[in-house]
Structure 1
Amino acid sequence: MRVRATGVDRRRLDIPGCGRSRQEVWRNSVLSGTVKFKQVRRIVASGWVVLGLAGCTAMPHRAQAPSAAAASQPLARMTVVTPDLDHDLLAQLMAGELALSSADLKSASQSYGKAMMISNDPEVAGKAVALAIAIHDPDAAKRAIDRWQALGATSAQLAQARAQLAVEQGQSEEARRQLSLLITSGEKDAWRMFGRVLIGSRDPALAGNLLQALGTPDHLPADPKAWLAMSELGEQLGRHAYAQQIADGALKRFGTAETYAWAAQLKLNNGDRTGGLNLLREAQVKDPNNIGLRLTYASLLGQSGQYAQAAHLLEKGPQNAQTYALRAALAANAKDNKTLGQVYQQLSQAPDDVRSSSAYLLGQLAEVLGHKEDALKWYDQVPDDDDHAFDADLRSAILLQDLGRSAEAHQQLAEMQTDYLDQPAQLRRAYEVDADLYLRERRYAEATDAFSHALQVAPDDPDLLYGRGLAYAEIGKIDLAVADFRRLLQIKPDDVDASNALGFTLADADRDLSEAERLIATARAAKPNDPSIADSWGWLQYRLGHLDQAADVLRSAWQSGKDADVGVHLGEVLWKQGHHQQAEQVFDEVRHIDPHNAALQQTLKRLQP
């Protein structure tokens, strides 16, 4: 049983050494990455005070009064001047980071605006620029950009910031001028920076115009990644024709697997499935070991019903957890148990990391193949932080009952109900499965309790009301069963199963038969070939005294499915008609299907006292 663990974050606090200025301390402790702002904030929260001179000199303690000579020592007359907060760099940086941690961008911008004026570090000014633009303060942004320039920002950085500010203010010509400076700056990441300006714009139309004006084939570098990035940006900005133009140009100029894959994506986006598949096939041919391409191509083949072709593509080449999962899904859709067995054998012998991340899939495959004990072992190996951990525990409980270990199954579900008290969706499901297992065991009183607990978590849940109504009916609490079914029909008036359940419950109790007739007739019209509804209709006819009609309907339902409860009803009707031998034959078949059928035992006691 899994217990969800909560980790405790214990980080070592590094105290800056002596002999360094506050600027140096800040640079080494924050920008180096060895000590995070979070750690510095912990000092403030703990009430510590960091002094630059603390601990630098260990002076011996002198009990006697100082002599005149001692009093005249220079250090004795030394006065340490501490800056006010507005001129304390470390204080402003800490205040800025604390504001950021609280998502208070305005306060963070103000603190970084002060910090950049007393710091010689261009990174501080760069952060001040970003924050000023983020809070839409153009004056502060311009001051920060000027300070950044004075501290040595590159021409590309300045052009990017000024372009971003111009886009923010809707200044199309200035934005274009600055973006032109950026892409001609010689900066290796210039086009990445260009894209960041446009993707963050609050005006997609302006961004799209700038992209089409500057991101042209004659401007783009000889780098397929830049072409693909601009094409994707165009698609995101709604410039589909531009995106297609650049994608086609990249495909013609570079012809790499990535260019084929992106061109395929655009065709798929435009509804051209055949064209997309053809391009993906070309991409996969160019890079046959690219797992991502194989997965994408195989997924599309599978969606087209080409399971065998997709499976053949995936079984060749490198394997990982995703390829095994898709191979299993394709085989399951094709109802190919032989291939499922092969995938199971290969995956169970895969490297440890693949096998560990695929434990839930291995459990599912083992279940499908009938290896229930093995499935239990795999489910137990699903990591606690896996997305399928909860489902693995549920499946384990169901398997335990299948293996005749009902007490363990219910114990597992009880532990889950404790572990997931703070997660309503999982808690509801744990109660529901518990109730379903009790229904299987014909422990109807326990089932009603479990359903009631689930309904406390999810009041008026239709599935839970339906299940509890069935359980109430089985233990003879007809009024409670009827109340649940009526409530369900108030919530979902067109619920066919609820109409049938309420109609049958009333007919079985031999009460409100006119209402029962209306309800079952409605369900029968919606599902004319449903054996369970036919059973309800036949049993209603029996209650109404229409024995011949009841026998005809029930015989048809019995022959279509050989359901034990339908057989019990048919046998009783035949017995009442005087066809005792035929009734006994039906009862014998019911015993063969379900030797412990409670309805059969009760019926025989009533008919043969």
Structure 2
Amino acid sequence: MRRLWISLFAVCVFAFVACSGSRKAEPTVDAPTKTAAAPKKVYAQPRYPVKLDSAELLRLEIAHGSFLRAIALQAQGENAIAEQFMQHAYAADPENRFLAFSVLELMEERGATAEAAQLAEKAKNLKGKKTSTQYALLGRIYGEQSNLDSAVVYYKKAVDASDQNLHAAYEYALLLEITRDYDELSRIYGILLPQIGYPQSILERQISLLATAKKDSALADLFGEVYEARGDRSFLENRIRLLLAMKHFEDALKSVEEFRADSAYADDSLSVRFVMAVYSGLKQDSVALDTLREIYKRNPERGDVLLDLSLFETKLGKKEQAIIHWQRLSGMETYAAISFGMLSAYALESGDSAQSLTYLEKAYEKAPMAYRNKLLVRYSADKNYAKAYAILDKALLPNEKYDTIRTQLMTDGKLEEMRKLDLEIAMDKAKLYYEYGTLLQMNAEDLERAPTTQARKDSAMTLRKQATDQYVKAGNIGGDSQNLLFAYGSNLLMFGMVDSAIVVFKRIFSLYPMDVVAKNHLGYTLVDLNRNAEEVKWGSKLIDDAIQQDPKNIAYRDSKAWALYRVGKFEEALKIMEGIEAEKDSLSDEMMHDPSIFSHMAAICEALALKKRAVEYYEKVLTIDPQNENAKSRIEILKKKEE
């Protein structure tokens, strides 16, 4: 009876022992018959012989019985006792990979990671079927032992196995965050996300990883996949934006067509911008323009569509159509400012300066901050200083809008945002004071420019005093910017406050040592004033520094010639000035109308007894500045000497 039971048991354990590493006898196969009879169906012989060694059979019986008992106990939640029976099963069949990993799993569940790690070293090398579950278990065990390199190896095998283990993939992802292998982490998320429905937290992490790695193509694909899975248009929108940024216009066009497939969104503002961007990228401007016109026909009340149409016509040089549409758009309050601004540009282009200024003033009225600087430039170019001052005076008044916003930020406890707003207001005010000072200085220079009168010179001094005050206010708020310091210092020189100006220029040289314009400006002024030998020497050195950095600059060379004149080196000075004269065709209009260059030539020629040439240069001075008393007196003196 026992022999019969053992035979039945042997048949039952075939599947179980299939993965056993025990020694086995080779199966026997009958020799084929030599007759030419019809082929007979040949059946595979059993893997194990029916006859087994009694000791081996007993071992398998023990292993099988303990295994079944362990499984039953696990089902009842008795994991501790189940582990003992599983240990018995594995001890009976120690080469069985399946049993080894069954023990490892129970060890790992009770937290016996040290024991599990020891067994894992043997279990991983046992023969038998290798599964993703086993690899994942090894990954967990090595991870818990802080053997991260080995943990990574086995988690990777678990994920890449044919029976891909998604739970292992998630654990692997957590490990990769620790090891900071973000390329591999991104690959694992790419496997996980489609399988688990793109959960938001992992999706956001994958987007961040791809964006940081600048894998734009992969990110665009991800957005497309999420859109297909969720139907969320924001992901399709992000895909289009990314494709446009990558200049993948063909792919972008397909996505845009899909984006517009829903009639509810076909003509919305975002769709219109996508259409324009795609067709512009594809160099299909005519298609873009036709598309815009069709959209506008369907939506004649839409200012945003008319704006896009006007801008696109402007871009393509469709001037007449653009002007018509800008004029129509100017009647819509939301778009009035930009419309008047564009109409101003068109009028100026056509040579109608008056109409251009009228349109610009209307644009400023609608959007003061946006058009303030443009209008100031126009007023200063037209020398309409009174209107420019009025704009600046208005801009410097307390702004109720800012006060309201600031109060609300304070009430909401948004102190950092409030501080940023305060800084923005302060810097804008500093800029306004600087612009005010610059306009006052420009106004003064116009009054001082020949021909002039004493009354004009007195008015200029008043303006320079006011400019100095504005520059001081700007510096107190915005600090020592390079432009501000130069404007402040040069104004002080013209105001006659030379020592104060020198202090300012030294500040420039300390903060901005490469500012050659400032070096030449102060250097020439010191040489021209000729207050003492030391200042003339220092001024000459500053001019030399400027020329070293810009040796072809005519203004710097003129300064150098005048410095040589001051120390009696007339021949060298004349050589430089003749070099400048030879380049008169390259002189700017401003320099051609600057009497100082011809005054220098005249003085140098006079010092060298070249009287006739000196008179000619003084006469050129008078053509620019008819009231120049020095030129008049020198001509009279030189002509008397010739008599």
| Bin for the TM-score computed over the shorter chain | 0.5 to 0.7
How well do the aligned residues superpose, as a CA RMSD in angstroms?
Answer: 5.4
Q: Specify the alignment match of 2:241 in structure 1.
A: 199
Q: Specify the alignment match of 1:253 in structure 2.
A: 298
1:481 aligns with one of 539, 546, 553: 539
1:499 aligns with one of 536, 557, 568: 557
- Write the distance in 1 (CA, Å) between the matches of 2:347 and 2:614: 48
Structure 1 residues 483-541: Cα deviation after superposition (integer angstroms, max 9, x where no partner): 22222122112211111121123224321x23212211232333366422211111111
Task: Write the mapping of 1:52-131 to structure 2, written as runs, cut at 5 A.
Answer: none
Q: CA offset at residue 311 of structure 1?
A: 5.1
Q: Specify the alignment match of 2:498 in structure 1.
A: 444
Structure 2, unaligned stretches of length 5 or more? 1-166, 172-176, 405-421, 445-459
Preserved contact between residue 284 and residue 290 of structure 1 (Cα < 8 Å): yes
Q: Which has the larger radius of gyration?
A: 2
Q: Specify the alignment match of 2:605 in structure 1.
A: 541
Preserved contact between residue 323 and residue 343 of structure 2 (Cα < 8 Å): no
Structure 1 residues 49-104: Cα deviation after superposition (integer angstroms, max 9, x where no partner): xxxxxxxxxxxxxxxxxxxxxxxxxxxxxxxxxxxxxxxxxxxxxxxxxxxxxxxx
Structure 1 residues 319-367: Cα deviation after superposition (integer angstroms, max 9, x where no partner): 342477378458627839599489859968999547999xxxxxxxxxx
Q: What is the identity, as a one-letter code, of the residue corresponding to 1:247?
A: L
Preserved contact between residue 543 and residue 560 of structure 2 (Cα < 8 Å): yes
1:517 aligns with one of 574, 586, 599: 574
Q: What is the identity, as a one-letter code, of the residue corresponding to 1:300?
A: A
Pair 1:557–1:276, CA change in 2 (3 A): same
Q: CA offset at residue 166 of structure 1?
A: 11
Q: What is the identity, as a one-letter code, of the residue corresponding to 1:558?
A: L
Q: Specify the alignment match of 2:89 in structure 1.
A: none
- Write the distance in 1 (CA, Å) between the matches of 2:279 and 2:579: 51
Is the partner of 1:194 in helix, strand or coil?
helix
Is the partner of 1:137 in helix, strand or coil?
helix
Q: What is the identity, as a one-letter code, of the residue corresponding to 2:268?
A: P
Q: What is the identity, as a one-letter code, of the residue corresponding to 2:433?
A: A
Pair 1:319–1:427, CA change in 2 (3 A): closer
Q: CA offset at residue 153 of structure 1?
A: 12
1:276 aligns with one of 317, 322, 341: 322
2:433 aligns with one of 368, 392, 403: 392
Pair 1:461–1:152, CA change in 2 (3 A): closer
Q: Specify the alignment match of 2:630 in structure 1.
A: 568
Pair 1:514–1:493, CA change in 2 (3 A): same
Pair 1:309–1:322, CA change in 2 (3 A): farther
Q: CA offset at residue 459 of structure 1?
A: 1.2
Q: CA offset at residue 228 of structure 1?
A: 1.2
- Write the distance in 2 (CA, Å) between the matches of 1:232 and 1:344: 38
Pair 1:233–1:576, CA change in 2 (3 A): closer
Preserved contact between residue 438 and residue 444 of structure 1 (Cα < 8 Å): yes
Pair 1:386–1:453, CA change in 2 (3 A): closer
Pair 1:133–1:219, CA change in 2 (3 A): farther
Task: Write the mapping of 1:346-495 to structure 2, written as runs, cut at 5 A.
Answer: 353=400, 384-392=425-433, 395=436, 426-473=480-527, 474=529, 475-476=531-532, 477-495=535-553
- Write the distance in 1 (CA, Å) between the matches of 2:389 and 2:499: 44
Q: What is the identity, as a one-letter code, of the residue corresponding to 1:495?
A: N
Pair 1:150–1:445, CA change in 2 (3 A): closer
Q: Specify the alignment match of 1:143 in structure 2.
A: 192
Q: CA offset at residue 556 of structure 1?
A: 2.9
Preserved contact between residue 448 and residue 472 of structure 1 (Cα < 8 Å): no
Structure 1, unaligned stretches of length 5 or more? 1-113, 119-127, 358-380, 583-609
Pair 1:430–1:297, CA change in 2 (3 A): closer
- Write the distance in 2 (CA, Å) between the matches of 1:223 and 1:300: 30
Q: CA offset at residue 545 of structure 1?
A: 0.2
- Write the distance in 2 (CA, Å) between the matches of 1:501 and 1:403: 25
Is the partner of 1:264 in helix, strand or coil?
helix
Q: What is the identity, as a one-letter code, of the residue corresponding to 2:379?
A: A
- Write the distance in 2 (CA, Å) between the matches of 1:483 and 1:144: 71
Q: CA offset at residue 464 of structure 1?
A: 1.0
Q: CA offset at residue 397 of structure 1?
A: 9.7
- Write the distance in 2 (CA, Å) between the matches of 1:459 and 1:238: 49
Select the structure that is richer in helix: 2
- Write the distance in 2 (CA, Å) between the matches of 1:218 and 1:139: 34
Q: Specify the alignment match of 1:108 in structure 2.
A: none
- Write the distance in 2 (CA, Å) between the matches of 1:560 and 1:151: 76
Is the partner of 2:547 in helix, strand or coil?
helix
Is the partner of 1:493 in helix, strand or coil?
coil
Q: What is the identity, as a one-letter code, of the residue corresponding to 1:488?
A: A
Q: CA offset at residue 462 of structure 1?
A: 1.7
Q: Specify the alignment match of 1:373 in structure 2.
A: none
Is the partner of 1:545 in helix, strand or coil?
coil
Preserved contact between residue 132 and residue 140 of structure 1 (Cα < 8 Å): no
Q: What is the identity, as a one-letter code, of the residue corresponding to 1:297?
A: M
1:552 aligns with one of 604, 607, 616: 616
Preserved contact between residue 397 and residue 408 of structure 1 (Cα < 8 Å): no
Q: CA offset at residue 294 of structure 1?
A: 2.8
Q: CA offset at residue 544 of structure 1?
A: 0.9
Structure 1 residues 390-440: Cα deviation after superposition (integer angstroms, max 9, x where no partner): 45157459969967699998788678767766xxxx443343234223312
Preserved contact between residue 551 and residue 570 of structure 1 (Cα < 8 Å): no
Check if 1:291 corresponds to 2:336.
yes
* TM-score for the superposition, normalised by structure 2: 0.51
2:372 aligns with one of 325, 328, 343: 325
Q: Specify the alignment match of 2:309 in structure 1.
A: 263
- Write the distance in 2 (CA, Å) between the matches of 1:501 and 1:223: 65
Preserved contact between residue 327 and residue 343 of structure 2 (Cα < 8 Å): no
Pair 1:282–1:409, CA change in 2 (3 A): closer
- Write the distance in 2 (CA, Å) between the matches of 1:211 and 1:529: 58
Pair 1:461–1:136, CA change in 2 (3 A): farther
Q: What is the identity, as a one-letter code, of the residue corresponding to 2:192?
A: R
1:215 aligns with one of 247, 257, 271: 257
Pair 1:225–1:329, CA change in 2 (3 A): same
Q: CA offset at residue 543 of structure 1?
A: 0.9
Preserved contact between residue 167 and residue 175 of structure 1 (Cα < 8 Å): no
Preserved contact between residue 444 and residue 471 of structure 1 (Cα < 8 Å): no
Identical aligned residues as a percent: 10
288-297 or 323-332, larger mean C-alpha shift: 323-332
Q: What is the identity, as a one-letter code, of the residue corresponding to 1:392?
A: Y
Q: What is the identity, as a one-letter code, of the residue corresponding to 1:268?
A: T
Q: CA offset at residue 194 of structure 1?
A: 1.8
Pair 1:456–1:339, CA change in 2 (3 A): closer
Task: Give the number of aligned pairs.
Answer: 415
- Write the distance in 2 (CA, Å) between the matches of 1:483 and 1:342: 39
Q: CA offset at residue 262 of structure 1?
A: 0.9
- Write the distance in 2 (CA, Å) between the matches of 1:229 and 1:449: 55
Preserved contact between residue 471 and residue 484 of structure 2 (Cα < 8 Å): yes
Structure 1 residues 287-339: Cα deviation after superposition (integer angstroms, max 9, x where no partner): 35633443443343354244444555566797342477378458627839599
Pair 1:461–1:312, CA change in 2 (3 A): closer
